Every structure is written in C-alpha cells, then in structure tokens.
Chains A and B, each alone.
Chain A
Amino acid sequence: MIGRALIRDFPILQQQIGSAPLVYLDSAASSQKPRHVLEAMQRYYEHDHANVHRGVHTLGARATDAYEGAREKVRRFIHARRTQEIVFTRGTTMSLNLIAETYGIAHLGPGDEIVLTPQEHHANLLPWQRLARRTGARLVFIEPSPEGIIDETRLMQAISSRTKIVTLAHISNVLGTVNPIRFAAERVHEVGGIIVVDGAQSVPHMPYDVQALDIDFLAFSGHKMLGPTGIGVLYGKYELLKALEPYELGGEMIDTVSLHEATWRDPPWRFEAGTPPIAEAVGLAAAIDYLEALDMRRVEAHVLQLTELATQALAEIPEVTIYGPRSGRHAVLTFNIGSIHAHDTATVLDTMGIAVRAGHHCAQPLMKRLGVNATVRASFYVYNDKQDVESLVAGVHRVKEFFGDVFR
C-alpha cells in the first residue's frame, strides 16, 4: 500500500485549508510525519529519556540503546559497512559544513580544485566557497546541458589531476535530475580525490547503497524522509572519519582531558559534542521502519510515476514553462505560468488547499541560469496520489483564469 491510503497515518494531512482538503506538494522542502514517528518520540520521552553515554542508571542505558539502535538502523538503510560510519548531525547543512571545515581544511591548498555544479543548493555551495577562500583552492563548475543534465562527458571535462573533492547533489532540488554519482566516484578516486554527496533529495526517495556507489561522504536530513526536524546524518568511510579532527568540541566527544590538552574519541562520537538529538534519532529510526515497510523500490517507482504524470499534464498547458527535463524527473516539478510571478501562483493555489513552494529554492545561481527570479515547485512523496496531480492541474488552470486578462 502506498499513496493516498497512507493519509490515515498522517494526522496533519487530514485537515482542510479553508474549505478545501489539504493537498501537500512541498515534501522536498520538508515531508510530513506519520503517527509512528510521533508516537515513537512521545513514548521515548514518556518512558526512556535520559542523557546518553553518561549515567549508569536504567534510563541512561535505555536512552543510549535507543540512540545507538537508531544509528544501526541508519547504517542498514544506506548499506554502510560499519555502524561507526554514521554520524548524527543537525541536518544536511551541518553535515556538509562539517566536511568542508574538517576534511577540506586538512587536505586543500593553493591550486587544488573542488568540482561541483552551478545547480547546487546553497548548502552545498557556500561551505565550499568559504573553504576555497581560506585555502586558496579553486571552485570548478561542471557545465550542465541546457536541460540541466550532468552527463559523464561533462563530468570528465571538469575532473583533473588537481581535483581533490567532487561534491554533487545526487538529485537536484530544483530540476529533479539525477547526477551520475557512481561514475563521478570512480573518476575522482582515480585522481586521488574524494566524493561528497548531498543526498537530501535522494536518500528519501530510493534504495541506497553507499558501498555500491563508492561514496566517501554522504549528507542527508531526517525531516525530508518522514522523520523529525533537527536531525541529519553524515556518512563517511571509517578510515576517512578516523583521520579527521573534530568539528565541535565539548562533552561526550573526548577520550581524556587535562587542563591543557585533550584526546578525541573514535568516530562517530568524536563528531557529536554535547547532548545529541536523542528523541529525534528515535523518530528517524521510526521513519526508516515506516519507509522500509513501504519498500524503497516502491517508494521510488511511485514518486517517479507521479512526477512523470504531473510533468506531462503541465507540459500540455501552453502557458506553462517547465524548468529542467520533461521526463525522468525525481520528485520535483518546477514551473511558471506565463509571466505570473511564482508567489501569485502559490497564493492562488493555497486558497485551493494546495501547498507548493515558490521562490528561489535556495539555488540562486541556478535561478539566474534559468533566467528567472522565482519559480513554483511541486514535489511528491509517499502519501501523494494521482488525485493530487489532478488538483495541481486544476489549480494551474484556475491561476490562468484568475490572472488571465492581466498577464500573458
């Protein structure tokens, strides 16, 4: 079972916006949470909460088991080799900053190159801009096709013997395109560099195997995959993590401390200073259980099908401009209607209960390439269904009618 029938598990999706039932098409920004996740967190706080890795009391042990159990669950979900390769962070943004500030600072110098695309989310652009400024390294941008596709030839042209890091979104949060991660990993390993993957839009949507893809570092967020906000993951190959300095310093990440010196614990705890998001880890584990029960292969097929359907339907409306490819998109459909501003479109859709994102999607350089200030983005997930696509299409027609005389 997948699609509309799941709404019974998502209390938030059962509401009306004004007089219309909510049609939630903004999961790429943040997904909604099933009861299973909410109840797991509530249960944890009502029965098991204490700080982790500290006390010898019963609750401390239960909380630690729950937290470390979540780590093991994440390992299985992305097929990592060892549980110690899973670092809990606040989210994708923190995971990417962590890599830039630890691995990047340690390994990059003048003349070294960081290869990325002009389509990255700001979270996978700004940390590298700062790293380049600090180390004298250079950002090298892969030139995408007019549709935004990064193929193997284009990748090859960007990677050279000076490449130390290739960092790519696995799936573009604006175009829904899939980048050739496995190929990029092979090429960058040949020249002695590493690959960093922004998995914020991909891990929630497909079966994942970091070993098969040969990814060195992977960043993703809990809240885009049915889990709570405030927790994310940094996966790193153990040998790489083991060689890194910590990112933040404080409690729980130390081995021994004297007045003038300290030594660090092994990964992953070295990177988890202070009290971690324990309840959020419990929630994320429940979200993974839920997704695994749905089966990630079906999640991927379902979302691909809905996105394809919506893309085809909107492509048939003459006034609609679709940004990015017209087929094979993952989860996100980005568009505008005539010269109607994305905000105006989103407001009209909102009065029909339809929630979409309008704006620059934290990808201003990409917006500039597309020649627009703002676009509308509809995104699909497990609880969406064909009816939601129909609502979106009806919404687009309503926007056209409403502004029809004014904007063309």
Chain B
Amino acid sequence: MSLDDLYRQVILDHAQHPRARGVLNGDHVIAVDLKNPTCGDHITLYVRLQDGNVQDIRFTGEGCSISQASASMMTDLLKGQSVGEAERIKNIFLKMIQGEALTEAEEEALGDAIALKGVAQFPARIKCATLAWKALEQGISEQSM
C-alpha cells in the first residue's frame, strides 16, 4: 500500500478546494454536528430536504485532508439526488471503506469518491473518511423520525 493510493490527486484537489463549504438556513434544513472525539475533527452538515430530494447540501468544520475531501465529494455527489438514492450511495461508500468489493455499477455511482477506496488499507484513517457520511446518515434518520 503506497501513499499515492491514499492521497490520489483528486482527493488533494477536493481537500484544497472543497466544493460545497458553507451554511444553509431556512425551512427544511437539517443541521448535524458530528465529531471524531479521538482527533478533534468536526463537521456540521446542512441538508435541505424537500419533496423527498436533497435540494441542497453544504458543510463547515475542520479536519484532515481525507475528511475534508470526503465531505466535499459527498456534497458534490448528493446534491439533487432523491433521499433514497442518497442513502444507496452512502451505503455503497461505507461498503467500499470497509474494504468490500464493489460492482462496476456501484463504482460508477460513487463518482470522485471512488478515489477514497485506498483508505480501506489505512485502518487508522477510516473514521476520517466516514465522518461526513455518518453525519448524513444521522440527518436522514432524524428527518424520517
């Protein structure tokens, strides 16, 4: 396992220029704060869920390049998707991070986030990669309650 497998160019690009940093306000917005208490990284994820769709999605917070890139890729990917599709993509992502094999269709569904595949070989960094996705998971489950 090499460093280049972990830090693919597209990851560093997302970390350096995160796509959807910012805050959302107003109706239908769910905000989820999540911390990684072992390292102090934190994220606030804002999702505007309307008519069963992820109408807009943004994040703020601080963290390492893996957590920032993962959040950026996720927001990129999920904006405009239905909640059901967002959940499906999230599950595929979590499966990949656990090191499970993906089908070609599943790989395609992940867009840029497929670049985070190498994280599975760095167990200490898995929590960095999943922070944003866990926030999404929490937000969706709060919404459906």
**B39 in the interface (beta carbon within 8 A):** yes
Residues from chain A with Cβ under 8 Å of B62 in the complex: 373
Question: A residues 220-267 with Cβ under 8 Å of B?
Answer: none
User: Looking at A340, A341, A342, which has the most chain B CB atoms within 10 Å of its CB?
Assistant: A341
User: In the complex, are the beta carbons of B12 and A343 less than 8 A apart?
Assistant: no
User: In the complex, are the beta carbons of A406 and B12 less than 8 A apart?
Assistant: yes
**B6 in the interface (beta carbon within 8 A):** yes
**A164 in the interface (beta carbon within 8 A):** no
Partner of A343, one of B1, B42, B125: B125
User: In the complex, are the beta carbons of A344 and B64 less than 8 A apart?
Assistant: yes
Partner of A344, one of B1, B2, B66: B66
The number of chain B residues with a CB under 8 A from chain A is 22
Task: Bits for B119-143, please: 1 = Cβ < 8 Å to A, else 0.
Answer: 0001011001000000000000000
Alpha-carbon gap, A358 to B65, bound state (A): 14
User: In the complex, are the beta carbons of A402 and B41 less than 8 A apart?
Assistant: no
**A347 in the interface (beta carbon within 8 A):** yes
**B91 in the interface (beta carbon within 8 A):** no
Q: How large is the interface on A (under 10, 10 to 19, 20 to 34, 35 or more residues)?
A: 20 to 34
Residues from chain B with Cβ under 8 Å of A367 in the complex: 40
Alpha-carbon gap, A342 to B6, bound state (A): 16
Task: Bits for A354-395, please: 1 = Cβ < 8 Å to B, else 0.
Answer: 000011100010010000011000000000000000000000
Task: Bits for A335-348, please: 1 = Cβ < 8 Å to B, else 0.
Answer: 00000111110011
Partner of A341, one of B42, B64, B122: B64
Task: Bits for A21-60, please: 1 = Cβ < 8 Å to B, else 0.
Answer: 0000000000000000000000000000000000000000
Task: Bits for B74-104, please: 1 = Cβ < 8 Å to A, else 0.
Answer: 0000000000000000000000000000000
In the assembled complex, the CB of A180 is this many whole angstroms from the nearest CB of chain B, namely 30
**B50 in the interface (beta carbon within 8 A):** no
**The 9 residue pairs across chains A and B that have the minimum distance between CB atoms:** A341-B64, A343-B64, A360-B40, A359-B39, A406-B12, A373-B40, A373-B62, A344-B64, A344-B65
User: In the complex, are the beta carbons of A407 and B16 less than 8 A apart?
Assistant: yes
Other 5 A-B pairs with CB < 8 A, given A351-B2, A360-B39:
A350-B124, A373-B42, A374-B40, A374-B64, A407-B65
Alpha-carbon gap, A348 to B64, bound state (A): 13
Alpha-carbon gap, A7 to B123, bound state (A): 27
> Given A359-B40, A406-B15, do A342 and B64 touch, yes or no (CB 8 Å)?
yes
**A10 in the interface (beta carbon within 8 A):** no
User: In the complex, are the beta carbons of B40 and A347 less than 8 A apart?
Assistant: no
> Given A342-B64, A358-B39, A373-B40, do A347 and B12 touch, yes or no (CB 8 Å)?
no
User: In the complex, are the beta carbons of A403 and B12 less than 8 A apart?
Assistant: yes
Alpha-carbon gap, A364 to B124, bound state (A): 20
User: In the complex, are the beta carbons of A402 and B40 less than 8 A apart?
Assistant: no
Alpha-carbon gap, A347 to B122, bound state (A): 9
User: In the complex, are the beta carbons of A341 and B40 less than 8 A apart?
Assistant: no
Alpha-carbon gap, A374 to B124, bound state (A): 15
Residues from chain B with Cβ under 8 Å of A360 in the complex: 39-40
> Given A373-B62, A402-B3, do A343 and B16 touch, yes or no (CB 8 Å)?
no
User: In the complex, are the beta carbons of B38 and A359 less than 8 A apart?
Assistant: yes
In the assembled complex, the CB of A361 is this many whole angstroms from the nearest CB of chain B, namely 9
> Given A341-B64, A403-B12, A406-B16, do A347 and B125 touch, yes or no (CB 8 Å)?
yes
User: In the complex, are the beta carbons of B66 and A343 less than 8 A apart?
Assistant: yes
13 contacts between A and B (CB under 8 A): A18-B1, A340-B65, A343-B63, A344-B64, A344-B65, A347-B3, A367-B40, A373-B62, A374-B64, A402-B3, A402-B7, A406-B12, A407-B65
In the assembled complex, the CB of B51 is this many whole angstroms from the nearest CB of chain A, namely 37
Partner of B3, one of A340, A351, A374, A407: A351
Question: B residues 7-52 with Cβ under 8 Å of A?
Answer: 7, 12, 15-16, 38-42
Alpha-carbon gap, A374 to B35, bound state (A): 13
Alpha-carbon gap, A403 to B13, bound state (A): 11
User: In the complex, are the beta carbons of B39 and A347 less than 8 A apart?
Assistant: no
In the assembled complex, the CB of A340 is this many whole angstroms from the nearest CB of chain B, namely 8
Partner of A364, one of B40, B64, B125, B128: B40
Alpha-carbon gap, A358 to B15, bound state (A): 19
Residues from chain B with Cβ under 8 Å of A359 in the complex: 38-40
